[in-house]
Structure 1
Amino acid sequence: MSTTPTSVTVPGPAIPARALKIQSRLRMAATWALIKPYWKSEDRKAGLGLLTLVVALNLGIVYINVLLNEWNRVFYNALEQRDYASFKVLLLRFSWIAAFFIVAAISRQYYTMMLQMRWRTWMTGQFMGHWMGHQAYYRIEQTHTTDNPDQRISDDLRQFTDGALSLSLGLLNSVVTLLSFVGILWTVSGPISLALGGNEIVIPGYMVWFAAGYAVIGSLIAHLVGRPLIGLNFQQEQYEADFRFTLVRLRENSEPVALYRGEPTEQAGLRARFDRIRANWNQLMRYTRRLTFVSSGYAQFAIIFPILVAAPRYFAGKMTLGGLMQTSSAFGQVQGALSWFVDSYATLVGWKAAANRLIDFQEAIRVAERQDEAHTGVRDIEVEHTGEPQAGIRVDGLGLALPVRAQRGASVGQRPLVAPFSLSIAPGERWLVNGPSGCGKSVLFRALAGIWPYGSGTVTMPADARTLFLPQRSYLPIGTLADALAYPDAGTAHAAEALQAVLLQARLPQLVDQLDVFDNWSLRLSPGEQQRLAFARALLQKPRYLFLDEATSALDEETEGIMYRLMVEALPDAAIISIAHRSTVAAFHGRRLRYVPDDGAGAQDGQGGDAAVSYRVVCEA
């Protein structure tokens, strides 16, 4: 067998220039809508308390910088005058000023990190709640309206909260620094006279104007050079998440890949995804190089610029050495405060990219929530609960459809799949659902579960409808075997004796003594063991309506018969509805729901218009 890596085309080409420009938009109103809710939440008192403390520490550090600026003037004048007594006193003064600065800086960092985590914790809870609520996580995956929600909840939320605090506190620090030092710089720089057209023009506090002009020009250049980095950072996060997801998927499917000898194809696919990371990174490098050139040149020239501007007055004897150093220090503080935008631009573009990804994710969640809450349009299927405890499941005029998507993945319509039909399932009845592959049998189960938004009709559930759906491959969470068996309950919600008993009934004696073992059970157990574990779960939960979607496909006919007989005997009052292809399963069911091709099915229009349905349902006793 050849081991030469094959060429793989990764779906989802590089984002075009127009889309990149859209992702580079600032979207300030939407960004503010992300920031505001926490500061009005139930945690706002603790958050505002920490924020007040951090702001106070920032103000204290600015005050210490003012003291250091004044200390510079006195210290260098003492050096110029060779005043040794003052020199010793000033060194002592510097020691306690520096000590206060260190304590304030450490405290500010500590409480800023504490506030970052509180804010991130609250936002993570909100996003996870909305993502899991209304089953938005499922609907988003159906419509592919956003990518990698895991990465947006973990990385983007962290970057957003950390960046919002660091940038806002940096801006506050710059404003306070500017207000504190602009008066000092205005006073110590004095006026400058310029001859223009035979007239003498006097500019008071000229160093302030030089600092402002220098910062404005630098900010404009930085924005023009660095703005594309917002969209490029947006793309980089997406590509990194895609690559990481593919690695995790390979790990979770290591056995089938090994059986297929699919290493060359998987390696080629991973390489192709990484090539997208590298190509985008090359663009990031180019734009970052330009931005670094601007910011580094700006910062380096700012060191000598105030000396050059103030040197004429110093050499003219109008300024002492201490005054020159104080002027240089004050200019640096003012220019630095005015240069917040330039200095923070690299951080700002990364933060804005994370904010834009969260805005898109939040909008996708809201769309999913509106689809779930509205009973018209894309979600016409209603799931109602009747107050009659003994009533069965009633289906009225249920027509099923499939979503039709555009090339970019957005849902643009529905293609009818199954003609409307009615059905009644009473407690204790056994229904077998069969038909050709792809006819919509599993879609029916999803509609009965209330998670399929495409179609029309009404599904009425009784008030005491404890339902359990066992798909072909049941979900097994990573954790203890007890947690995997009892899901969605916690393993501790059931006595160990009960868990052991259902494992024995499901013919899994080898797992009885492993209830407390922590593992990824979907990888450790064979498909047959996983299906028997699912039957043990049904015995544990005792549902009134049990839906089996090819839940015995990995079992031999003998074991399959044992599992079905076990369900019938252990759950005599439960309705059992099965999707299965084997004729042996039919012996355990008294009724049949059969999918047959619709004779009037015509050509599909591909846009969910008036296309004919593909199948109709026949109920047989």
Structure 2
Amino acid sequence: MEKQHSNSTQSNRFDREFFKRFFRLLPWLFPSWISKPVLLFILLLCLGLLEQYVIYNIGMVPSKYYKVLGDKDQNGFWKQTAIAVSLIVAEAFIKATTTFVSSFLYLVWRDNVTRNLHTKYFKEVVYYSVNVLDKTTDNPDQRITQDVDKLCNTLSQICAPLVISPFTIGYYIYKAQEGSGIIGPVGVLIFFIIATVVNKLLMSPVVKYVFIREKMEGNFRFKHMQIRSNSESAAFYRSGSVEKDKCNKHLFNLINTQHKLIRKEYALHFAVNLFDYLGSIFSYIAISFPIFLGAYDSLSSPDLSALISANAFVIIYLINCFTKLIDLSVTVTQIAGTTHRVVELLQVLEKLKNCQDTKLASRPKEIRGFGWSEMETLMGKDEQDKEENEAPQSPVAAFEISDLTYTAPKSSQKLCTGLNLKFEQGLNILVTGDSGCGKSSLLRVINGIWPEVRGTIDYLVDLKPSVILFLPQKPYFTDGSLRQQVIYPLKEFDRRGSFINTEDALIHEYLEKTDLTHVCERTRGLDTQVEWNWYDELSPGEMQRLSFVRLFYHKPKFAVLDESTSQIGIDAEKAMYSLCRDLGITVLSVGHRDTLKQYHDLELHFSDSGECSIKPIIHKGQNGASIA
């Protein structure tokens, strides 16, 4: 286990791999030469250069005070005081503006990077694959929400100083050479090289543990989120003691990693502070050589004091420019750790997308995409219905399965072998079998979120909610209003004229037929933006009935139902399936209840060995007649 953990983090260092991964993000950070991030970055550079000019003049203030006070020049003193106050006000203004602009740059960067990750994350069913099927990337949610935030925030604060530093260093090397000769800049350069080498050796272990710490933070947060989402289920088990131990275990792993990180950071902080304070006396060592050699014997005491003060500032600030880069090493470790995590996720998302593209490329052109076009999400349901009514007559089948064999992902146990099935309009199919035999797995394969081992699924319709709708075993509800739950997975659209009343009346009718009018009363209307978690507010039965309201609203030609009536009564089940029949919805249902057979025409039965059989369901009153 330790070896595997080590292999997963061995490349997460401040090295060539970090720079390769960071350059992957540059097109998102700077989309074009005239984009908002570029303009904000240029403004930051201008502010940084202006600040260096002001800082230089502020640094010369003490030497000028030495001069005017040594000469007892009262008018010069007050003039110099006015200049100094003006410079200080200017510096305060520049610093505040720099912070303001860098904060805006951080927000723009976070928005750009997160939106680009969302595009890849929500492409087809990549989000399902990375969370359920692919386990190589821990906590994708944390990487998108927290790691991107840390990366963009930290980078916005240090990007301008990193770019300006070489120019500032070059200028102060020139000024240092004027005051103390070649020994000043050469000594500072040697000092910086030694400090850089030492800090580089100490940085890589810190980067690795920053990466591990972020992973442990995600695991600890996810455990508490799990408790929050399932608190009622845990409460029925009175499992507080067990969950406390599990949370404490995650906390121990996190604290233990932070202890290791603190120990690694100790040596780095010691080196950083050591070189900072050594730099503060180096200016006096550098100026001492020309003074002791008599280069400035001709100067008066006030002039010599002013020279020492000015040269001290130049040398100290030159060292400060170098040590700022050294100080940034601690910050860069945070950037390196988060960059590795963000780009690792990006690489996995791209790999999964390529796998999906390869799979979809083998399907017929007209139905390669799982989902539906953006146009359907933008136009109203009345326009969709009009378009469908004007379209040619729909196919009489949703899909046809030929010689299908499938397993669970990363498993060799066959759940089904050699299945042949055609889901035709008007022919309801019931899928039965013991728990765990592969019934729900069939729906995952049909939907395309699980791969097939052998065989084909020929889709004869577009997989969009107006044609075929899947109701998963665990109902899904997004955040927002009651209307948003009903029209899901469509986006909200503009409703004009009489269509508003038509749609509202339709939704209220379905709420009444599913005995959910009280839910609309609790939300105070269809469009009230509620803040609650729908899973906490609705019972399991209410969630299943609301899922049927969603089905009736879309009124597709086909529906695939996975245990969709397991939490409601027999009478409510009858009402749901009767309304499906009245609306002309052909269903493929997974279920255990015997009462479901009366609403279906064929039974697809799975055995524990992976074999399946199809037989007609003989209803009472048909005199034994079988269905062909």
Please name the residue that 1:73 is paired with: 63
Q: 1:53: Cα distance to partner?
A: 1.4
Provide the secondary structure at the position in 2 that maps to 1:403: coil
Q: 1:82: Cα distance to partner?
A: 3.3
Please state which structure has a larger fraction of its residues in strand.
Answer: 1
Please name the residue that 1:53 is paired with: 43
Please name the residue that 1:459 is paired with: 457
Shift of the 183–468 alpha-carbon distance from structure 1 to 2, 3 Å rule, reads same
Shift of the 381–258 alpha-carbon distance from structure 1 to 2, 3 Å rule, reads farther
Contact 1:394 1:424 (C-alpha < 8 Å) held by counterparts: yes
Please name the residue that 1:288 is paired with: 265
CA distance in 2 between partners of 1:275 and 1:397 (Å): 51
Letter in 1 for 2:481: T
Provide the secondary structure at the position in 2 that maps to 1:375: helix
2:367 equivalent among 379, 385, 397: 385
Alignment partner of 1:305 is 2:282: yes
Please name the residue that 1:239 is paired with: 216
2:346 equivalent among 343, 349, 362: 362
Please name the residue that 2:109 is paired with: 119
Q: 1:553: Cα distance to partner?
A: 1.0
Provide the secondary structure at the position in 2 that maps to 1:302: helix
Please name the residue that 2:246 is paired with: 269
Alignment partner of 1:521 is 2:534: yes
Provide the secondary structure at the position in 2 that maps to 1:147: coil
CA distance in 2 between partners of 1:578 and 1:383 (Å): 28
Contact 1:314 1:321 (C-alpha < 8 Å) held by counterparts: no
Report the TM-score, using the length of structure 1 for normalisation: 0.86
**1:32-60 deviations in Å (ceiling 9; x for gaps):** 43332136636843222222111111111
CA distance in 2 between partners of 1:133 and 1:278 (Å): 36
Letter in 2 for 1:56: C
Letter in 2 for 1:420: G
Q: 1:381: Cα distance to partner?
A: 7.9
Alignment partner of 1:499 is 2:499: no
Q: Structure 1 residues 421-430 or 488-497, which shifts more?
A: 488-497
CA distance in 2 between partners of 1:71 and 1:383 (Å): 75
| Aligned positions of 1:148-547 closer than 5 A | 148-190=139-181, 205-311=182-288, 313-314=290-291, 318-319=295-296, 320-375=304-359, 385=367, 389-392=394-397, 393-404=399-410, 415-463=413-461, 466-490=467-491, 495-513=503-521, 514=523, 515=526, 516=528, 518=530, 519-547=532-560
CA distance in 1 between partners of 2:426 and 2:113 (Å): 46
Contact 1:382 1:459 (C-alpha < 8 Å) held by counterparts: no
Tell me the C-alpha RMSD between the 2 structures.
2.5
Provide the secondary structure at the position in 2 that maps to 1:532: helix
CA distance in 1 between partners of 2:12 and 2:22 (Å): 17
Q: Structure 1 residues 111-120 or 43-52, which shifts more?
A: 43-52
Contact 1:381 1:457 (C-alpha < 8 Å) held by counterparts: no
Contact 1:314 1:324 (C-alpha < 8 Å) held by counterparts: no
Provide the secondary structure at the position in 2 that maps to 1:374: helix
Report the TM-score, using the length of structure 2 for normalisation: 0.85
CA distance in 2 between partners of 1:535 and 1:179 (Å): 71
CA distance in 2 between partners of 1:482 and 1:330 (Å): 67
Q: 1:122: Cα distance to partner?
A: 1.2
Shift of the 384–454 alpha-carbon distance from structure 1 to 2, 3 Å rule, reads farther
Shift of the 499–122 alpha-carbon distance from structure 1 to 2, 3 Å rule, reads same
Provide the secondary structure at the position in 2 that maps to 1:227: helix
Please name the residue that 1:105 is paired with: 95
CA distance in 1 between partners of 2:26 and 2:191 (Å): 34
Q: 1:380: Cα distance to partner?
A: 7.8
CA distance in 1 between partners of 2:520 and 2:161 (Å): 58
Q: How many residues align?
A: 569
% identical aligned pairs: 22
Letter in 2 for 1:273: H
**1:111-155 deviations in Å (ceiling 9; x for gaps):** 222122112211111100110003111111212121111111111
Q: 1:15: Cα distance to partner?
A: 6.8
CA distance in 2 between partners of 1:583 and 1:187 (Å): 96
Shift of the 105–139 alpha-carbon distance from structure 1 to 2, 3 Å rule, reads same
**1:326-346 deviations in Å (ceiling 9; x for gaps):** 111111221122234311011
Letter in 2 for 1:536: V
CA distance in 1 between partners of 2:195 and 2:14 (Å): 21
Provide the secondary structure at the position in 2 that maps to 1:472: coil
Please name the residue that 2:124 is paired with: 134
Contact 2:282 2:316 (C-alpha < 8 Å) held by counterparts: no
Q: Structure 1 residues 339-348 or 456-465, which shifts more?
A: 456-465
